[in-house]
Structure 1
Amino acid sequence: MGAMTRIVLVRHGETEWNRVERFRGSADLPLNENGLRQAELLARRLLAAWKPAAVYSSPLSRAVKTAEAIAFPLKLQVKIHPGLSDINYGEWQGLTPEEVRSRWPELFECWQTIPDNLHFPGGEAMVERQKIGVAAVKEIAAAHPGETVVCVGHTVINRLIILGLLDLGFSYFWRLRQDNCALNVLECYDGLFVAVTLNETGHLLKY
């Protein structure tokens, strides 16, 4: 068996659209004050346990800012990977769940149940974004044998990546929480991924 690679997959800190519950996706939103503080606490927790060899991030600024909080103490440059970006919600982007439900009731029902066949109007298909995300993490893991690597993503792409790497179906999508600045740990052994930690948020209880 080859060397174990550890992937620490995290979600970015809070934005205003998180706070008021709007579909975010590929919209480029900054962290709010709470999100900046969450990123600091996440970095402390993560760096107390590991010394990552690299920090990768979605290109969206809320993820990049979270990644920078982790990378800066290590004197690392954040590596941008488009495969970690969140899904494009298309016409849903910026809307509240109530607004979406009133305009696309059947699609919204699909979204809230098992969204494997969902293609957002004017946006992306869930299965296609999952393929992109899973391929990204496999590529990153292969580039860092025996090392610990941080990947900063978003709620939907993180769920899709975890389900894909663990060979779990979309029926588990809503059973996997991804809170702001949550931490997930996956170990990779010769291409086989094992979940160690999912949605850890204890570091955020310190304030």
Structure 2
Amino acid sequence: MTKLIIVRHGETTWNLEHRAQGSKNIGLTKNGLNQAKLLAKRLKHYKIDKIYSSDLDRAFHTAEMVAKELDQEVIKDNRLREMSFGKWEGLTTSEIKEKYEDDFIIWRNNPHKALIPEAEKLVDVQNRTLEIINYIIKENKGKTILIVSHGISIKSIILGIMEMPLSDFYKITQNNTSINIIEYRDYGPVIKTLNDTAHLENIE
């Protein structure tokens, strides 16, 4: 049985500041590094055959922590990057609301219809992430694969795999270093775990 373990990266400064990160290359905070260490210790007990990651530092460094624990290499792929937010990148949620009120309302209510200035469309994010996901599945039949990516990208992947509409985007949440497990059974994909952060329960 092919199994995907899809994980969001650890905490960044911009996560704390509620800034749109998108394609900006923001590193992990000290807490984010600790989250990644705890994630690595937990995933050590899984039989992971291969590790793929977004090429952005916050995801790649999270993946590296796990890879070190498992004595493996990380395969980078830019198709696992976060959605590019164009003009919104670097702005806080409050600043976006103030400067792009109409676009923000659409993003929050109908994200699949949002046309953020100079940004990717949500459907384009889903198309590129599913392209690499389908490749990974084809190349690793019967294996367990770890994929480290970003919140919006992961939600797009899960909705796509489960054949759910992008209008359901806000019905899924993804916390830092959350674990999502999807098993490909004889009758199709099954979500076994969603947004699991049990490894962070005792974090200070």
Identify the TM-score tier after normalising by the shorter chain.
over 0.9
Contact 1:138/1:191, CA 8 A, preserved across alignment? no
TM-score w.r.t. the length of structure 1 is: 0.94
- The answer to whether residue 29 in structure 2 is matched with residue 28 in structure 1 is no
Cα distance between partner residues in 2 of 1:69 and 1:188: 26
Deviations 1:66-95 (A, max 9, x none): 001111122211000111100100000000
The runs of 5 or more residues in structure 2 that have no matched partner are none
Deviation at 1:181, TM superposition (A): 0.4
Deviation at 1:122, TM superposition (A): 1.1
1:104 maps to: 100
Moved more, 190-199 or 175-184: 190-199
3-state SS of paired residue (1:157): helix
3-state SS of paired residue (2:44): helix
Describe how 1:18-167 pairs up with structure 2 within 5 A: 18-48=15-45, 50-167=46-163
Cα distance between partner residues in 2 of 1:32 and 1:160: 25
Mark the CA change 1:82 to 1:190 in structure 2 (over 3 Å): closer, same or farther. Answer: farther
Deviation at 1:173, TM superposition (A): 0.9
- The answer to whether residue 200 in structure 2 is matched with residue 204 in structure 1 is yes
Cα distance between partner residues in 2 of 1:145 and 1:189: 11
- Aligned partner of 1:196: which letter? K
Aligned mate of 1:170, from 141, 166, 182: 166
The runs of 5 or more residues in structure 1 that have no matched partner are none
CA RMSD in angstroms, aligned pairs only:
1.2
Deviation at 1:170, TM superposition (A): 2.1
1:11 maps to: 8
Contact 2:151/2:175, CA 8 A, preserved across alignment? yes
Cα distance between partner residues in 2 of 1:191 and 1:78: 30
Cα distance between partner residues in 2 of 1:145 and 1:87: 28
TM-score w.r.t. the length of structure 2 is: 0.96
Report the count of equivalent residues: 203
3-state SS of paired residue (2:72): coil
Mark the CA change 1:192 to 1:134 in structure 2 (over 3 Å): closer, same or farther. Answer: farther
Cα distance between partner residues in 2 of 1:20 and 1:171: 26
Deviation at 1:43, TM superposition (A): 1.1
3-state SS of paired residue (2:117): coil
Cα distance between partner residues in 1 of 2:169 and 2:120: 17
- Aligned partner of 1:112: which letter? R
